[in-house]
Homo-oligomer: A and B are copies of this chain.
Amino acid sequence: MTFAQRLDRIAGLTEARLATLVGANSQRSEDAGRVPTRLFEALRHATLGGGKRFRPFLVVESAALFGLSEAAALDTAAALECVHCYSLVHDDLPAMDNDTLRRGQPTVWKAFDEWTAILAGDALLTVAFETLSAPATHPNAEVRLALIAGLARAAGKDGMVGGQALDLEAERSAEAQAPTVREILHLQSLKTGALIRFACEAGAMLGEASPEERAALVRYGDAIGRAFQIADDLLDAEGCAETVGKAVSKDAAAGKATLVGLLGIADARAALAQAEQDAVAALAPFGARGDMLIEAARFVSRREH
């Protein structure tokens, strides 16, 4: 299978799993009253019908390095995607990035309303941890706990949420000085990097890999996360809304400091090439087994939308 076929296949499997995970729990008591219909519709809107499902791909393919089947990695992959989707739902809110378009569709708050979007995000984050706690995720209890601890660190105050807060603090504080390249890299390693890094590490956790193999996947995840963000910045600076599927040049319009803004397009392209090279180098210990993840690094670095 080519990379594009694998990405597509894992996206389909993830979508099917998400559809189950975000539904109402069927083990409700018989005297249950009304179901919050609007909330459940919003959960489906937030999670289904699109997206490359790149984080699930990374989980499944990282786990495959250790001989795990797609099925054995799928719940972890779907849990991570829930966290990614929740972060998009909350980031799109008027008080945050105020976005109305996402994957060519109205954002959750636009399609529903703000309170539904706030609650849908909260519910998705909770679903992620509920999913990871279940025996179907991995037969070894210690592995499930390590996944939960790792996801919480990657997603929370010291990870993704912390990075988002840093970004907004820098953007909206009157006193804040413009961030340096180093500070932007740090911010992005939290805001988008932490979850991507964890997707790769989760594969090693599921595969009960050696510490060395796990460290190699963290390095790979770090590099591909950097590549992902730089490529995103370049697309935002150069792209058009049609191919990107969401509003573009928003960062520049918001006066947001980006790596591309500070380095210029040529140096940003060089940093992107370096990140791609780092990602490939990190996979060396896995030999030919790492080919699909190498393809992923190339895809991220060279994508045009």
Q: Judge if A215 is at the interface, Cβ distance under 8 Å.
A: no
Residue of B nearest to A43 (CB): B157
Determine the chain B residues whose CB is within 8 A of the CB of A22 once the complex forms: 157
Q: Judge if A250 is at the interface, Cβ distance under 8 Å.
A: no
CA distance A157 to B46 in the complex (A): 14
| Chain B min CB distance to A81 (Å) | 16
Number of chain A residues whose Cβ lies closer than 8 Å to a Cβ of chain B: 65
| Chain B min CB distance to A32 (Å) | 7
Per DSSP, are chain A's interface residues mostly helix, strand or loop, or mixed? Answer: helix
Find out whether the CB atom of A25 lies under 8 angstroms from the CB atom of B158.
Answer: yes
Question: Do A36 and B95 contact each other (CB < 8 Å), given the known contacts A123-B157, A152-B129, A156-B130?
Answer: no
Residue of B nearest to A183 (CB): B33
Q: How many copies does the complex hold?
A: 2
Q: Judge if A238 is at the interface, Cβ distance under 8 Å.
A: no
Find out whether the CB atom of A133 lies under 8 angstroms from the CB atom of B119.
Answer: no
Q: A122's contact among B125, B127, B145, by CB below 8 Å, is which? A: B125
Q: A149's contact among B134, B166, B179, by CB below 8 Å, is which? A: B134
CA distance A129 to B155 in the complex (A): 11
Determine the chain B residues whose CB is within 8 A of the CB of A161 once the complex forms: 39, 119, 122-123, 126
A-B contact pairs, 29 of them (CB 8 A): A25-B153, A32-B186, A33-B183, A33-B186, A34-B183, A38-B173, A39-B157, A39-B162, A39-B165, A90-B122, A93-B118, A95-B114, A95-B115, A96-B115, A115-B168, A119-B168, A122-B156, A123-B162, A125-B126, A126-B157, A127-B152, A129-B129, A129-B148, A129-B152, A130-B148, A130-B156, A132-B148, A133-B148, A133-B152
